[in-house]
Amino acid sequence: MKTVLKSVVLAAGLFVAAQPVMAAAPQAKTLEQLLQQVQKDRLSEGKINKQREQEFLSERADKQALLSQAKRELVAEQARGKKLEAQFGENEKQLAELEEKLTLAVGNMGEMFGVVRQVAGDAQSRFQTSIISAQFPGRDKLMGELAQSKELPELPQLEDLWFALQKEMTASGEIVKFPANVITGTGDREQREVTRVGTFNLMDADQYLVFNGETETVGELSRQPESYMTATVDSYADNASGYSALYVDPSRGTILTLMTQKVTLDERYKQGGTVGYVITAVLGLGLLIVVERLIVLGGMSAAIRKQLKSDTPSDKNPLGRILKVYENNRNVDVETLELKLDEAILKETPRIERGVSVIKVLAAVAPLLGLLGTVTGMIDTFQSITLFGTGDPKIMAGGISTALVTTVLGLVAALPLIFLHSIVYSRSQSLVHLIEEQATGIIAEHAEKESK
Amino acid sequence: MMLFLIELWESVRDFMNTGGVVLNWLALVLFIMWVLMIERYMYVTSAFPKLVKDIVANWDAREDTTSWYAHRIREAWISQANEKLNARMQLIKTLVAVCPLMGLLGTVTGMVHVFEIMANTGTGNPRLMASGISMATIPTMAGMVAALSGVFFSSRLEAKVKVASHRLVDSMPHH
C-alpha cells in the first residue's frame, strides 16, 4: 500500500515538475528570469503537495475504518464455521448410526435383492429375443429398469418380476393367434393375424415369419424355406381340429434366417454363366431333335405295320414304296429286280437314320462344354488369386463352385441325351433292319403266294 | 430274421443318405439295368428256343429252300428273330455306360456342396466339409461298382445272344 502510494506520488511529482519546464522553457529569456520562475514554481508546487497530502490522509482514515469492519466480520464467520463443523460431526455420527440400523433391518434381504437384479437381467435378455415379445411388447424394458436400479425394489416390482416370468413360462406352452404389425418383403407395414407356436415359430396363413428382438418387429423372411416345409404351415393354418404336422424351428428363428442364405437351384444354375446357357441350348436342341425323331419314326413304323397287313402298296411309307418298285417290275428277272430293290432301299435308309447321329454328337458335346466351363471357372479363380492372394478361401470357393456347376450341367445334359439317343437309335435300327433285310423277304412271300 | 432285415434296411438307408440324391438316380438306373438283363436272360434261355423251333419247323416244311425267293424269305425270318433277340440290348449297354457318368455327376455335386460350405463358413471346420466329401466319393464308388457289375453280365449276355443267333442261322440249311 505504501509503495503504491509512494510511486504514485513520485510519478505525480515528476509529471508536475516536467510540465512547467517544458512549458516555461521558451519563456525564460535570461537566467534571472529562469531563477525567478523556478522559485515561483517551487512555491506553488509546495502548496499543491500539501493539499495532496491532506487528501491522502483523509483517505487513509476511511480505509482504516473499512479494515476494522472486515476484521470484525472475519471473526464472526470463523465462529460460525466452528459451529457448523461441530454440527457436521454430529450429523456424521448420526448417519453412521442410522446406516448401522439399516443394515440390521435389511438383514438377509440384501442377498435377495442381488438375486432379483440378476434374474431381472437374465429375463431382460431372454425376453428381448423371445418371440413372445411380439405378442406382449415392452416387457424387457421393465426388466431392464429393475436390473439397473440402485434402489431397493419394492413389493409391486417384485410381484411384476414374478408375474413376467410366470407369463413367459405359460406362453411358451401355448399356440395362439394374435394380430401384429408385419413388415412385408417390400418394407411396408401390414396388420395381420399371426400364429405363435410356443417360443419357436411365428407364422401367418401360409409362411414363416421372424421376430427381430432389437426393433421388436415381426418380419417376413426374404426367402421362405423349401415348399414342403411351408406346405405344412398352410395345412396347419387350415386345420380346424385335431393334430397336424408342422416343421418347427427349435433354434427359435436362427435356422430359418440361415436358410435364407441357402443357394436355390435357380441361383446355382445362374452361377454356370454363359457356358451354362450354351449347355442348356445344346440340351434343348437335342431334346427337340429327339421329339421330332420319335414322332416321325413312330408314324413311320405305324404306317409300315399297316402296310404289312394290306395288299395294296401305298406311297406314304418306305415299305410301301419298295413294294411299289416290285409291283412296277413284276416281270423282270430276279437279278434286275434285286438291283432295283437295292436302289429303292438305299434311298429310304437315310430318311430313317437322319438326325440320330446328331443326338449322339450333342450328347458328347455337352460334357465337353462342361469341361470348358470348368476350365474357364478355374481361370477366373486363379485370376482372383493373383489379385487378392489366397487369404480368403471364400473368394476362391465362389469361382470353384462356378466351375463345378458347369461340369454338373454338362453331365446333366449328357445323361438324358445318351439315354434318348439309345432309344431313338434302336428304333431307327429296327426300321432299317425291316427295310434292308425283311422287305425283300416280304416281297418274296407275296410272289410265292401269287404263284400258287 | 426280421431284425436282421430291419438292420440291413437301416444300413442301406444310411448309405443312401450319405451319398446324396444322385445315389437314388443311380439305384434307379441299376435297377432298370438288372431288370432288363434278367428279362433278356430269361428270354434267351426259355422263350427264344421255342421261337427257333417254330421257325426251323416252318423252314423244314417248305418245299422250296433253294430259290432266290426262298433265300430272301429265310433272311427275313432270321432278321425278325434277331430283332426279337436283340431288343433292348442297346438300352442295356447304354445303361451300363451311363453308370460311371452318374457317379461322376455325384462327385461333382458333392464337390459343389463342399465348396458351398467353404464359401459360407470358411475352411475352419473340416467336419462340415466331410458330409460333402462323402457325398462326392460314395456315388463315384457306387457308379463304378454298378458299371462293373453291368459290364460283366451284359457282355456275357451279348455273347449268349450272338451264339443263339448263329445257332438259328445254322439250323436253317439252304443250298
CA A274 to CA B39: how far, in whole Å? 44
Instruction: List chain B residues with CB under 8 Å of A438.
Output: 75-76, 79-80
Among A59-68, A118-127, B100-109, the minimum mean pLDDT is found in A118-127
**Chain A contact for B69 (CB, 8 A cutoff):** yes
Q: Is residue A101 part of a domain?
A: yes
Interface test with B, best of A407, A423, A436 (most B CBs within 10 A): A407
Q: Rounded mean pLDDT of A64-92? A: 94
% of chain A beyond a pLDDT of 90: 27
Domain check: are A326 and A402 in the same one? yes
Domain check: are A400 and A340 in the same one? yes
In chain B, the residue whose alpha carbon lies closest to the alpha carbon of A338 is: B68
Interchain CB distance below 8 Å, B118 and A397? yes
Complex ipTM, two decimals? 0.86
Please say if the pLDDT value at position A232 is more than 80.
Answer: yes
- Domain boundary among the residues A244, A262, A280 is at A262
Q: Rounded mean pLDDT of A329-355? A: 88
Please say if the pLDDT value at position A401 is more than 60.
Answer: yes
Q: What is the pLDDT of residue A24?
A: 47
Domain check: are A429 and A376 in the same one? yes
Q: Is residue A24 part of a domain?
A: no
Q: A382: distance to nearest CA of chain B, Å?
A: 16
Q: Rounded mean pLDDT of A423-439? A: 90
Q: Rounded to 5 degrees, what are φ and ψ at A164?
A: -65, -40
Domain check: are A194 and A216 in the same one? yes
Domain check: are A286 and A410 in the same one? yes
Q: Rounded mean pLDDT of B108-132? A: 79
CA A91 to CA A50: how far, in whole Å? 62
Please say if the pLDDT value at position A304 is more than 80.
Answer: yes
Q: Is residue A419 part of a domain?
A: yes
CA A79 to CA A74: how far, in whole Å? 9
- pLDDT, one tens digit per residue, over A160-199 is 888 888 988 998 888 888 888 888 878 888 888 888 888 8
pTM attached to this predicted model: 0.65
Q: Is residue A295 part of a domain?
A: yes
Task: Look at chain A and report how many structural domains it folds into.
Answer: 3
Q: Which of B97, B111, B122 sits opposite A404 (nearest CB)?
A: B111
Q: What is the pLDDT of residue A5?
A: 55
CA B132 to CA B116: how far, in whole Å? 9
Please say if the pLDDT value at position A20 is more than 80.
Answer: no
Please say if the pLDDT value at position A52 is more than 50.
Answer: yes
Contacts with A394 (C-beta within 8 Å, 6 or more apart), sequence order: B118, B119, B122
A418: domain range? 269-451
Interface test with A, best of B98, B102, B112 (most A CBs within 10 A): B112
CA B146 to CA B31: how far, in whole Å? 10
Q: What is the pLDDT of residue A9?
A: 54
The grid coordinates of residue B80 equal 425278325
Contacts with B22 (C-beta within 8 Å, 6 or more apart), sequence order: B102, B103, B105, B106, B109, B139
- pLDDT, one tens digit per residue, over A273-291 is 888 999 999 999 999 999 9
Domain check: are A140 and A161 in the same one? yes
CA B31 to CA B8: how far, in whole Å? 18
The grid coordinates of residue A312 equal 395294296
Q: Rounded mean pLDDT of A227-233? A: 81
Q: Rounded mean pLDDT of B44-52? A: 92
Could you tell me which residues of chain A have a Cβ less than 8 Å from any Cβ in chain B? 261, 263, 268, 334, 338, 367, 393-394, 397-398, 400-401, 404-405, 407-408, 411-412, 414-415, 418-419, 421-423, 425-426, 429-430, 433-434, 437-438, 440-445, 447-448
Instruction: List chain B residues with CB under 8 Å of A423.
Output: 91
Instruction: List chain B residues with CB under 8 Å of A407.
Output: 108
DSSP-H helix ranges across A107-154: 109-129, 139-148
The grid coordinates of residue A12 equal 505525480
Domain check: are A424 and A397 in the same one? yes
Interchain CB distance below 8 Å, A438 and B76? yes
Domain check: are A302 and A221 in the same one? no
Q: A380: distance to nearest CA of chain B, Å?
A: 15
Of the pLDDT bands very low, low, confident and very high (cuts 50, 70, 90), residue A146 is: confident
Q: Rounded mean pLDDT of A23-31? A: 66
Please say if the pLDDT value at position B63 is more than 60.
Answer: yes
Please say if the pLDDT value at position A44 is more than 50.
Answer: yes
Q: Rounded mean pLDDT of A141-160? A: 81
Of the pLDDT bands very low, low, confident and very high (cuts 50, 70, 90), residue A19 is: low
- Domain boundary among the residues A262, A288, A307 is at A262
The average confidence (pLDDT) of chain B is 89
